[in-house]
């Protein structure tokens, strides 16, 4: 299992979830401090693990790492694209170089990772690529134009690639997991020009909820995508039905809902150009600062993973209701 962005957040939680069931894991990220700590967690779980410091924005370096992974650990079965960065600011307050950097890491980083994975998977005619997406792959919100744009791009890339693989009859699979707001360290290290501390738009889910969905998607990649969280489901449905109404709602609430009442710390690191968890940084872990507000379970995510069971249960309930009504009429 190859996981990019494995030093923190969803990537780190996903790596732990793979390790918990005995998988061999390759951890990729820029931050060496976070990578080392993540590796220690996996070693404690009794699995084989290797770390590979790399910037996913560099396609040659990333492909060289893919070669090393296969030399060290064997053929890559699953490649999970997670790594990202962002800027919290109004579009007019983001410099062109910053916008380009976010796009290169988030969008082309997924493209680069997928290319390296397919280069090895297609000749074997097996393997899976999992894209960690977002509700924001469909619905843009204020203060995150660079991130939203990159996630929209990933969605289009995913759909195009998936149809090509289907056309060719390939056994290689690609799937995407659309995430809700997650309690990750990004809100403590993403470059921010907001006056107050950035926060996820509630409701907030713990990264382990996201990790369970990633592992399931890796095991069941036939689905084009999975939705995680009731908020994701409601947002995507509302955006499909009444996007203009959602525009007005977000224009009114989107600025305040993404900031706490506390002022942004003046010494907050920014991982746009350099990792915040590098040799001189600290290990941020998988969780952010919102543990007291984050949700550890998602019935919707469970239902999304078990459509057949949910459908069968609904059918049984409908049949029982119909029989009860008929019996009552008699």
* pLDDT at res. 303: 75
Enclosing domain of residue 322: 298-330
Annotated catalytic residue within 52, 107, 147, 226: 147
Instruction: Indicate whether 28 and 91 sit together in one domain.
Output: yes
pTM of the model: 0.91
Same domain, 159 and 234: yes
Within this chain, do residues 238 and 305 fall inside the same structural domain, yes or no?
no
- pLDDT attached to residue 327: 59
Q: Taking the chain (330 residues) in consecutive chunks of 10 residues, what is each chunk's mean pLDDT?
A: 98 98 98 97 98 98 98 98 98 98 98 98 98 97 98 98 98 98 95 96 96 98 97 96 97 97 91 91 94 89 65 53 59
**Same domain (yes/no): 209, 320:** no
**312, 260: one domain:** no
Asked whether residue 175 falls in the same domain as residue 317, the answer is: no
**27 DSSP assignment:** E
Same-domain check for residues 323 and 187: no
328 in the same domain as 181: no
pLDDT at 279: 86
Write out the DSSP string of 219-262.
H-TTSSEEE-SHHHHHHHHHHHH-HHHHHHHHHHHHHHHTEEEE
Q: What is the pLDDT of residue 135?
A: 97
Question: pLDDT at position 319, please?
Answer: 56
pLDDT of residue 309: 59
In this prediction, residue 298 carries a pLDDT of 78
In this structure, are 217 and 313 located in the same domain?
A: no
* Catalytic status, residue 52: no
The angle subtended at Cα 104 by Cα 103 and Cα 106, nearest 5°, is 65
Based on the fold, state whether residues 238 and 307 are members of the same structural domain: no
Helix (H, G, I), strand (E, B), or coil: what is residue 36? helix
229 and 100 together in one domain = yes
Same domain, 34 and 84: yes
Count how many domains the chain has: 2
CATH number where 13 lies: 3.40.50.720
* Count of other CB atoms within 10 angstroms of residue 19: 22
pLDDT recorded at residue 314: 46
């Amino acid at each position: 299992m190859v996981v990019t962005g494995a030093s923190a957040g969803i990537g780190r939680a996903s790596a732990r979830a793979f390790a918990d069931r005995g998988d061999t894991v390759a951890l990729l990220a820029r931050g060496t401090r976070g990578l080392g700590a993540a590796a220690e967690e996996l070693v404690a779980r009794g699995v084989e693990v290797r770390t590979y410091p790399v910037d996913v924005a560099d396609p040659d370096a990333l492909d060289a790492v893919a070669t090393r992974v296969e030399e060290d650990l064997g053929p890559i079965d699953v490649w999970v694209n997670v790594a990202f960065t962002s800027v919290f600011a109004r579009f007019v307050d983001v410099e062109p170089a910053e916008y380009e950097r976010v796009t290169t890491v988030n969008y082309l980083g997924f493209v680069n990772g997928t290319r390296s994975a397919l280069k090895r998977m297609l000749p074997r005619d097996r393997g899976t690529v999992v894209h960690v997406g977002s509700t924001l792959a469909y619905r843009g919100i204020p203060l995150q134009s660079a991130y939203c744009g990159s996630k929209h791009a990933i969605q289009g890339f995913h759909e195009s690639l998936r149809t090509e693989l289907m056309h060719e009859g390939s056994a290689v699979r690609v799937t995407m997991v659309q995430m809700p707001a997650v309690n990750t360290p990004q809100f403590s290290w993403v470059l921010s020009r907001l006056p107050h501390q950035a926060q996820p738009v509630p409701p907030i889910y713990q990264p382990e909820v996201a990790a369970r969905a990633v592992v399931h998607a890796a095991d069941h990649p036939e689905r084009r995508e999975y939705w995680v969280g009731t908020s994701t489901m409601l947002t995507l449905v509302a955006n499909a039905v009444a996007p203009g109404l959602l525009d007005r709602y977000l224009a009114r609430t989107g600025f305040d809902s993404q900031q706490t009442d506390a002022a942004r710390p003046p010494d907050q690191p920014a991982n746009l150009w350099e990792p915040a968890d590098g040799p001189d940084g600290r290990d941020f872990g998988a969780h952010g600062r919102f543990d007291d507000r984050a949700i550890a379970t998602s019935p919707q995510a469970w239902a999304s993973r078990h459509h057949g069971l949910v459908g069968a249960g609904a059918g049984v309930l409908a049949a029982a209701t119909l029989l009860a009504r008929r019996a009552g009429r008699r």
